[in-house]
Amino acid sequence: MYRTARRLVDTAVTSIPAVPSYGKGRATLFPEDSLVETPSFELARSISSSASQSLYSVFLEKSFTTQSMLFGANDGLALSCSYMVHRNWDRLSAIASTQMTYSLQSIRDDLDESMLSSLLFSTDDVVHSFIYRSFFTGNRVFNVAKTGNLFIYYLIVSYIRRNDNVPLGLTPSEYLRRHRSNLSVANIGFCRAVNPLSPWKITHLNISL
């Protein structure tokens, strides 16, 4: 990735790899990192996200939809977790940034069998997901003529059921109120250089199990 992307990764992956915390009966891959669980309305974030998604779809990828982004994000979520569990670092590095790959490598051997089992799931197990935030970032973002200095970033929140007792079609608040004990909550961030368009890379991953 370009230098600007590396700086973004350093910002997005704020936690220091560590043995997951088991406070309150739950474990988190990066316990020092804040975890978004529910959508919330913040005017500035809402305007920024709507504007960035509109600009991206109009000028960069006309076929882009929120639904396609969520489908792709959940595919990347399931694959990255599977690659980490099976120590398939070459495949992980193809879809994740160097820093993200290193961070997952550094905690892999500290995970117990229960956690590793919880990280193996299919996209069918993702019962709800939403875009929490999206924005353009980069070095001198208004100088778009300079190759590789402008990026778009998405942060996706996904609820993953641990068993078939968790139904489909509920609202976020219903899931967290009625089924939180049977859910894992994942935050996954994706970054893409847009001048020119480059492959998406996972730059942030945190899961509460």
Q: Say how far apart CA 147 and CA 143 lie, in whole Å.
A: 9
Among candidate residues 133, 116, 103, the one with its CA nearest the CA of residue 32: 103
- How many CB atoms neighbour CB 81 within 10 A? 24
Q: Say how far apart CA 2 and CA 128 lie, in whole Å.
A: 32
Q: Say how far apart CA 133 and CA 125 lie, in whole Å.
A: 23
Three-state SS at 188: strand
Among candidate residues 91, 67, 61, 62, the one with its CA nearest the CA of residue 78: 91
Q: In one letter, which amino acid is 131?
A: I
Tens digit of each residue's pLDDT (9 = 90 or more) over 125-159: 999 999 999 999 876 555 555 666 789 999 999 99
Direct distance between the N- and C-terminal alpha carbons of the chain, in angstroms, rounded to an integer = 30
Q: Is the pLDDT of residue 7 over 60?
A: no
Q: Say how far apart CA 99 and CA 87 lie, in whole Å.
A: 16
Tens digit of each residue's pLDDT (9 = 90 or more) over 87-127: 999 999 999 999 999 999 999 999 999 999 999 999 999 99
Domain segments of the chain as ranges: 3-8+41-165+182-208
Banded model confidence at residue 23, pLDDT cuts 50, 70, 90 = very low
